[in-house]
Amino acid sequence: MGLFFCVKTFGCQMNKHDSERVAGMLEALGALPVNDIEAADVVVYMTCCVREAADTRLYGQVASMKNIPLRPGTPLGKRIVAVGGCIGQRDGEKLLAALPHLDVVFGTHNLGALPRLLREAVGSGERAAEVLDASSGFSSDLPTDREHAWAAWLPITIGCNNFCTYCIVPYVRGREKSRPLEDIVAEAQRYVDAGVKEITLLGQNVNSYGRDLYGQPRFAAVLDAVAATGVKRLRFATSHPKDLTDEVIDRFGSLEALMPALHLPVQAGSDAVLAAMNRRYTAAHYRGLVEKLRRVCPNIALSTDVIVGFPGETEKDFLDTYRLIEEIGYHQVFTFIYSKREGTPAASLPANATREEIQDRFERLEKLVQDSAWKANQAEAGATVEVLVEGVSKRDPRLLSGKSPKNQTVHAPLPEDCSIEQLQGRFVDVKVDEARTWYLSGTVVDGSLHG
């Protein structure tokens, strides 16, 4: 009798990557993945607690599980529910007490324990929470079920040492640990040999890679070594501006595989707020980095994260942020309203703006972000871009959807003689007819299919 599982993922790419490992482990046990909870015998939530909203949603969703009917014919007689990821790590046993329908809790440091915990829950009906304080290293030997055959996320560091005062991540992911360079290169080479076209190197701050192993940041060496595997497209996330070195910036000019796109979270444009956030750079330093990046790679697409309403943020501070965002001309800006996280230093700082003021700042910024995205995309209007095809557009199955080197979403009608299966994971050139705020649309250049 088949067993079906469903993994629901929240939060950052670290979690998405961990979810691929969870799926890989469950498939190795003979279970099959499904998208809907209704059709699943085992449901695993991979949770995020970086903001309060994600927290509230998780508790609500697990609590309402009791209303979802069991899958007809389920061999288990009940639905097994597991919570992992960052809320699992932070709350452990408390989750079992708060959520009677929950069977298993695991953390960010013991992903590999999940099959055993599930087996115990199925076998004896025992509920269990197992969370470790720190990781022993990388769980790189776990099987992985990647979302796309042609793209891979490759963690090079786990954890974070930066302790930005608003952020919970260092508490739920632990201290920064780098993975040995040989392991990274070996995994990248395996992917390339298996036909992977795009690799994204992952870490909370990839720029400090190697400090715990070799005593200095040497992320540039990782870029060189992974590019040498022959991968077509190389990306990385995330970069802390205080650790982005000239060597890494230079790679945007010298490594052909390194795509002209960089996510460089600024968080704020006011030095007072940056200092209160413990970001350890100034707005001027950040502007200097952007200048250098554009000198090396004039068409680089920049994206960023911004927090609005950090404790103590004044209207003047906000305007400094607004002007910085306006001036840089980002392709994409992820805007967040500050959300208090218990246990972080900022949680004890008094707020000095009202909810309405913060909401108003947020809305002004959102408008700017849309204008800026639209403007940035105009550089591609009328141009031809190389697109790595991912699938069909969600809104229209007659359109292919893929990514440009700058990571823009591109839509184009499927060429008549091609099925999407023939195109997926390969490259086509698209002549862009129209550049919109969130995507480019165009037509596939005849005979351009390659890779």
Residues lying near ligand SF4 in the complex (CB under 6 A):
160, 162-164, 167, 169-170, 204-205, 240
Question: Which one, 167 or 227, has the nearer CB to ligand SF4?
Answer: 167
Phi and psi at residue 205, in whole multiples of 5°?
-150, 85
Strand boundaries in 28-72, DSSP class E: 32-33, 42-47
Pick from 172, 387, 414, 430: which binds ligand F3S (CB under 6 A)? 172
Pick from 12, 23, 118, 223: which binds ligand F3S (CB under 6 A)? 12
Q: How far is the CB of 147 from ligand SAH (least distance, A)?
A: 20
**CA distances to 63, 93, 100 from 77, in Å:** 19, 24, 17
Residue 348 CA to residue 333 CA, distance in Å, equals: 28
Burial class (CB in 10 A: 0-12, 13-18, 19+), 357: middle
Question: Which one, 19 or 408, has the nearer CB to ligand F3S?
Answer: 19
One character per residue 200-219, x = contact with ligand SAH (rule: CB under 6 A): ----xx--------------
Q: Return the bridge partners of 178, or none.
A: 157
336: partner contacted, choices ligand F3S, ligand SAH, ligand SF4, none (Cβ within 5-8 A by kind): ligand SAH
Q: Is the dihedral of CA 309, 315, 321, 325 positive or negative?
A: positive
51: partner contacted, choices ligand SAH, ligand F3S, ligand SF4, none (Cβ within 5-8 A by kind): ligand SAH
Residue 274 CA to residue 130 CA, distance in Å, equals: 37
Pick from 127, 173, 240, 406: which binds ligand F3S (CB under 6 A)? 173
Q: How far is the CB of 434 from ligand F3S (least distance, A)?
A: 34
Binding flag, residue 156, ligand F3S (CB under 6 A): no
Binding flag, residue 169, ligand F3S (CB under 6 A): yes
Q: How far is the CB of 93 from ligand SF4 (least distance, A)?
A: 25
Count of CB atoms situated within 10 Å of the CB of 73: 8
Question: Which one, 40 or 276, has the nearer CB to ligand SAH?
Answer: 276
Count of CB atoms situated within 10 Å of the CB of 275: 14
Q: Are 276 and 310 in contact (CB under 8 A)?
A: yes
Residue 391 CA to residue 393 CA, distance in Å, equals: 7
Q: Return the bridge partners of 435, or none.
A: 440
Residue 325 CA to residue 303 CA, distance in Å, equals: 10
One character per residue 141-170, x = contact with ligand SAH (rule: CB under 6 A): -------------------------xx-x-
Q: How far is the CB of 375 from ligand SF4 (least distance, A)?
A: 27
Question: Which one, 59 or 336, has the nearer CB to ligand SAH?
Answer: 336
Question: Which one, 307 or 430, has the nearer CB to ligand SF4?
Answer: 307
Scan residues 308-337 and list those touching ligand SAH (CB under 6 A). Answer: 336
Residue 103 CA to residue 118 CA, distance in Å, equals: 8
Q: Are 175 and 356 in contact (CB under 8 A)?
A: no
CA-nearest of 111, 129, 116, 138 to 23 is: 111
Residue 239 CA to residue 178 CA, distance in Å, equals: 15
Binding flag, residue 240, ligand SAH (CB under 6 A): yes
172: partner contacted, choices ligand SAH, ligand F3S, ligand SF4, none (Cβ within 5-8 A by kind): ligand F3S
Residue 203 CA to residue 239 CA, distance in Å, equals: 8
Pick from 49, 152, 199, 440: which binds ligand F3S (CB under 6 A)? 49
Residues at the site binding ligand SAH, with contacts judged by CB under 6 A: 12, 50-51, 166-167, 169, 204-205, 238, 240, 265, 267, 305, 307, 336, 338-339, 341
Residues at the site binding ligand F3S, with contacts judged by CB under 6 A: 11-12, 14-15, 48-50, 85-86, 168-169, 172-173
